[in-house]
Amino acid sequence: MKIVLTQDVKGYGKKGDEKDAKPGYARNFLLPRGLAVPAESPEAMKMLAAKEESAKMAEVAGGKIHDLLANHQNLKIEISAKSKEGKLATAIKPAEIISKIENIVGQKPENINPNKPLRKVGEYKITADFVGGNQLKVVVEVINKV
């Protein structure tokens, strides 16, 4: 039985995925709980069309981001924080670094690597991942706040 998932189902698929489910699993588990709809239903057609459109939009956005990131290659960000003997009083969280990158570049990265708090004074090489697989290399310099 062909179905379209309306929610993420752990171990089975993500929202919007079209699956060929066993009839009993679909009829007795997925459909009654509202986790899926039959693939022929109008709701499923809307979901698949929206999924295709969002994929096209992500492709267009990926091209724009690539041009935007070309202007900011080898970006260097300075963050000042209180420290004692090289160790920071408060770690600098990845969300703070993402926010700084967003303020400079104008686009929020999806993720940064390494995705862990910075706890010492020094330079850190970080890669910011954007939509469409675009990456930006960033050097974050943590300095002592005087």
Same domain, 60 and 78: no
Could you list the pLDDT tens digit for every one of the 146 residues in the chain?
A: 999 999 999 999 988 889 999 999 999 999 999 999 998 999 888 888 888 887 777 666 656 777 777 777 888 999 999 998 889 999 999 999 999 988 988 888 888 998 899 999 999 999 998 877 788 899 999 998 87
Q: What is the pTM of this model?
A: 0.58
> Which domain CATH number covers 89?
3.10.430.100
pLDDT confidence of residue 50:
82
Closest CA to 121 of 100, 140, 138, 95: 140
Same domain, 76 and 139: yes
Total domains in the fold of the chain: 2
